[in-house]
Homo-oligomer: A and B are copies of this chain.
Amino acid sequence: MTISSDMPFPAPGPKAELETGDVLSPRFGPDGLITAVTVDAEDNTVLMVAHMNSEALRLTVETGIAHYWSRSRQAIWKKGETSGNMQSVRELRIDCDQDCVLLKVTTAGDGANCHTGRRSCFYRAVTKGVDGRPRLETDKSDQPRFDPNTVYGSDS
C-alpha cells in the first residue's frame, strides 16, 4: 500500500464517521502514540502490547512487517531486527474509536516475541497466594527460546 510520509493519515472525523466509516484515521494520543496489540495469526494468543507513532504505523502498513515506537529508546523499532524474530502482519485491525490497533502476525525465527526470549510477554498469571493475597505464577509451557544476554547483551 502507498501512504505519503508527509501526510500519512487523515485527521479523525466526527464520531459516527470514526466508528462506522472506511477511512483509516488513527487517533494518536497527546504523546503521539497509539496502542498496538499483537496476536498470533493462527491461534489469537496475545503476544505483546506496544506503541506506534504515525511513522511506525505507516511503515507497518506499507511493508507488512511490524514496526513500533520504542519509548525507552525514543526511536522506530523494527521488531525482531536484532533477534531475527520479525513479525509478518497477516491482518491489521483498528478498534471502534480508532485509538488502538490489532496486529495478527506470524513470527519468524524461533517465534519469540518477548525480550525475555519467550513466545509471549504474558507468561505470568495472577493466582491466590497462601496468605489470600495475589501472587504471580509463571506459565511453564512458555519457555525462553533464546538467551537474552546472548542476543541483546548483559544489560537486557
Q: Enumerate chain A interface residues (CB-CB to B < 8 A).
A: 1-3, 19-24, 35, 37, 39, 43-46, 48-49, 61, 91-96, 100, 102, 114-116, 118, 121-126, 128, 132-138
Contact = CB atoms under 8 A, between A and B. Distances in A.
Nearest to A126: B92
B24 A126 contact: yes
A133 B9 CA distance: 10
Nearest to A91: B125
B44 A43 contact: yes
Contacts of A133: 1-3
A98 to B, nearest CB: 9
A94 B136 contact: yes
B1 A134 contact: yes
Given A44-B43, A44-B46, A93-B122, A136 B1 contact: no
